[in-house]
Amino acid sequence: MVYNLPAYDIVGTINCDEYKDNFVDLYLAIKKLYQPAYEPNQRILITSTLDFYKESHGLILQSLQTIVNNVDISNYFICFVTTNKNIEQEYAYVLDTYSTDPVPFNIQCIDGEFTRLSGSSIRPYRKINDLDQRNNDIKDLTKKQKDLLFNSKNFCILPWISLSIATDGGVAPCCSYRGDTGDASKDSLKDIWDNSVNQDIRQRMIDDLPVDGCKQCVFEESLGKGSLRTSSNTTFSKYIQIAEKSTTPDYNLKYVDSYYNNLCNLSCRICSHSSSSSWHAPAVATGKIDKSTPVFLKAGRSDTDLYDQIFEQLDNIDRIYFAGGEPLIINDNYKILDELSDRGRYDIELIYNTNMTQNQLKGRSIFDAWKNFTNITIGASLDAEGARANYLRTGTVWEKVVEFRQEMIRLRPDIDFFISCTTSLINAVHVPDFHRSWVEQGLIQPEQFNINALNQPSWLCVNTAPEYLQEQIVEKYQLHLEWLRPLDRHGRASAGFEGIIERLNNTVKFDPQAFWNNILPLDKYYNANLLDNFPELVDLPQ
Ligand SMILES: C[S@@+](CC[C@H](N)C(=O)[O-])C[C@H]1O[C@@H](n2cnc3c(N)ncnc32)[C@H](O)[C@@H]1O
Ligand code: SF4
């Protein structure tokens, strides 16, 4: 390729043609050239002699623009050299429609052959959780649609687009719903989708009447906070027409919450056998379940039933939430990724809650299975570090967790990663230390920390802390917030710590009997000791 650029200092050159099959690698190549600031004369040179077409503009060009914005490089520092004779017109559209930066790339069209390929099966790079995209979706709504989504007290989009399936076969519109709207051990997901319970829920929501199962969201909103309902109405606003049309929508799943298998390698103190197969032995030994209870729980009318039903819906689905047991050791989840790869569905949103202890299955790395997927979000269930982590989440090898995160930063810096820290009476004092330590080790940015306040079992909740401990927690959290607030751009991490302080206003008396009767038998079973790991609890009443 012969071109004649002004005397720029080129910091790196990327040939777009080499990335036509893999937009994740294009992202990584551009990310490598990222600098917090460029000298006025510095430029990144990007060349292209081919593109894919569905509409009037190239899909690689569109992806490139989205990636440059995503990596947060100003268009000003991009020199785009192409043999595409129509580039001026195409780029004008791409800049107007997809760029968050009004300044254009510096474009040069040069002589040479340009190949136009069919893009019918190509999905351009798109960050689904991109705020600008969401704002765009919302901008185009009618007043009536906005009223339903944002002003109604009871309307939620999820019953029109989503199903959540638990290990006992219980099906609901989402994971926050209290109760079931069907039983996947008996009925197909389609029959459940169409049943009268779900139709009634949808009708009540359209009429803005309260729905019994939606108590959790109502409760959170009553505290002046957002809820799964409010966030889903924003995230999925583009589906509002489905809800407007009918309370018997076509069975086209857009979002699936997959909890239907309890296979897990850990037995976390906060968890139970219904979510973790590794809880079976300790639960039997401590009399929590009968030993005749099966170790492995998997919903569905047969071993492969739910996988088969989800498989059938893969073309419709925009988002899958893999939540366990432990999603990274469940073979079905890898099979789903492979099928999505075969269908070129790299744009699908993959959301995980994972314990971060296993990054491969049967010798296959999860990074291999994730290759090419552009929208991956990881909520890492980590609540403490070092030996404390193994106490809370029995079976954790802490060094492996840290290695996994380091590998993720190295191989997939584009993954939207945050810690989902379940905060209880046991780890409350330690949580700020853990947060700060991960920030100082460069494993997360300060804002990548989400606090999930434990609600069940009640004897383990942070607001049962005795007064002296509450004072310690509040003092420590306030100090931590002084450090955190200036670093926490969107206030997400700060809101978690503030939420715990708020929760302490609603004190429930510490129940020593319930607490120690649950802790000590398990300590004995695991040959562990709470106070060795969390010495700050030494004065808890016995
Ligand atoms: C059941 S786990 C399954 C996915 C995966 N194994 C993990 O731990 O992330 C899903 C999420 O529920 C959280 N969790 C488990 N028991 C909980 C409880 N009693 N209260 C609140 N969250 C809980 C976990 O920390 C995790 O973030
Ligand atoms: S890793 Fe997840 S599913 Fe497994 S025991 Fe812990 S919380 Fe439960």
- DSSP-assigned letters across all residues of 274-302: TT-GGGHHHHHHTTSS-TTS-S--B-SSS
The confidence score (pLDDT) of residue 373 equals 94
SS3 248: coil
Measured in angstroms, how far is the CA atom of residue 267 from the centroid of ligand 2?
Answer: 6
Measured in angstroms, how far is the CA atom of residue 276 from the centroid of ligand 2?
Answer: 6
Q: What is the pLDDT of residues 67-122, one digit of tens each?
A: 999 899 999 999 999 999 999 999 999 999 889 899 999 999 999 999 999 988 78
The confidence score (pLDDT) of residue 136 equals 64
Report whether residue 419 contacts ligand 1, using a CB cutoff of 6 Å.
no
Q: Which of 404, 358, 351 is nearest to 373 (CA)?
A: 351
Per-block mean pLDDT, blocks of 10 residues, the chain (542 long):
79 94 90 94 96 92 94 95 96 93 94 93 73 66 92 96 94 95 96 97 96 93 86 92 95 92 97 96 96 95 94 94 93 95 92 97 97 94 97 98 97 95 98 98 96 93 96 97 93 93 92 96 97 96 92
Q: Which of 502, 508, 501 is nearest to 465 (CA)?
A: 508
Number of H helices, E strands in the chain: 22, 19
With the most atoms of ligand 1 within 8 angstroms of its CB, the residue from 263, 269, 275 to mutate is: 275
Sheet strand arrangement including 106-109: 9-15, 42-48, 78-82, 106-109
Query: Among all ligands shown, which has an atom nearest to the Cα of 322?
Result: 1
Report whether residue 264 contacts ligand 1, using a CB cutoff of 6 Å.
yes
Q: Return the number of other C-beta atoms located less than 10 Å from residue 338's C-beta.
A: 12
Q: What is the pLDDT of residues 14-71, one digit of tens each?
A: 999 999 888 989 999 999 999 999 999 999 999 999 999 988 899 999 999 999 998 9
Q: In degrees rounded to 5, what are phi and psi of residue 379?
A: -100, 105
Measured in angstroms, how far is the CA atom of residue 236 from the centroid of ligand 2?
Answer: 28
Report whether residue 266 contacts ligand 2, using a CB cutoff of 6 Å.
yes
With the most atoms of ligand 2 within 8 angstroms of its CB, the residue from 276, 391, 422, 455 to mutate is: 276
Q: What is the dihedral of CA 180, 183, 189, 193, to 10 degrees?
A: -40
Report whether residue 83 contacts ligand 2, using a CB cutoff of 6 Å.
no
Report whether residue 271 contacts ligand 2, using a CB cutoff of 6 Å.
yes
Residue nearest to atom 1 of ligand 1 (CA): 275
DSSP letter assigned to residue 506: S
DSSP letter assigned to residue 195: S
With the most atoms of ligand 2 within 8 angstroms of its CB, the residue from 258, 265, 266 to mutate is: 266
Residue nearest to atom 6 of ligand 1 (CA): 326
Report whether residue 326 contacts ligand 2, using a CB cutoff of 6 Å.
yes
Report whether residue 355 contacts ligand 2, using a CB cutoff of 6 Å.
yes
Contact in structure between 509 and 486 (CB atoms under 8 Å): no
Q: Which numbered atom of ligand 2 lies nearest the CA of 262?
A: 3
Rounded to 5°, the CA angle 423-178-148 comes to 100
What six digits make up the tokens of 86? Answer: 């129509």
Contacts of 203 (CB under 8 A, 6+ apart): 247
What six digits make up the tokens of 228? Answer: 């799964």
Report whether residue 270 contacts ligand 1, using a CB cutoff of 6 Å.
yes
The confidence score (pLDDT) of residue 71 equals 92
Report whether residue 355 contacts ligand 1, using a CB cutoff of 6 Å.
yes
Report whether residue 261 contacts ligand 1, using a CB cutoff of 6 Å.
no
b/e for 306-322, b at 16 or more Cβ within 10 A?
bbebbeebbeebbbbbb
DSSP bridge pairs for 45: 13, 79
SS3 22: coil
Q: Which of 522, 530, 529, 527 is nearest to 282 (CA)?
A: 522
Contact in structure between 409 and 368 (CB atoms under 8 Å): no
Measured in angstroms, how far is the CA atom of residue 195 from the centroid of ligand 2?
Answer: 32
The confidence score (pLDDT) of residue 226 equals 84
What is this structure's pTM? 0.87
Round to whole Å and give the CA distance between 542 and 540.
6
The confidence score (pLDDT) of residue 128 equals 58
